[in-house]
Amino acid sequence: MSTLVTHLAPDFTKPAVLPNGSFDEKFNFHAHIRDKYAVLFFYPLDFTFVCPSEIIAHSHRAKDFQKRNAEVIGVSVDSHFTHYAWRNTPITQGGIGPIDITLVSDLGGEVMNAYGVSHPNHVALRGSFLIDKKRYRAPPSSQ
């Protein structure tokens, strides 16, 4: 795996489901985070029993991130239609319910490959990237 720190975050244009539940067929990452920080996280698949807690927790903090000029964006290899169905399924029935973050579809796996989080089974490994306003990955903490 190559080092990603201090390199420009790979850009992508992919279909996504926005926080208001609408589709953006050409969601462009760099355009969306212009002059903002970003938390870009990857997860394997929708409708699994482990992923929902992480995504729901990110959503519960979305407004806190926005107050700090940061956007939270999730990515998996599911289609934007599957993301839409998952967020429109109640938590009690295996869904995530309405969430306040963008979910991006990476059907071909190009984004997960660009960020070095692809698994041999053609899904994304869990991974989170903090990206600064200039679209560079944040340096590791010195603490």
Q: Which residues are catalytic?
A: 51
Give the residue ranges of DSSP H helices in 70-121: 80-87, 110-114
Kind of pairing, strands 102-105 and 70-76?
Answer: parallel
Q: Is 45 in contact with 122 (CB distance < 8 Å)?
A: no
> What's phi and psi for 92, nearest 5 deg?
-65, -15
Terminal Cα-to-Cα distance of the chain (whole angstroms): 24
Q: Are 99 and 59 in contact, with CB atoms under 8 Å apart?
A: yes
Which residue, 58, 21, 20, is CA-closest to 39?
58
Q: Which two tokens stand for residue 77?
A: 């290899």
DSSP secondary structure string for all residues of 130-142: EE-TTSBBPPPP-
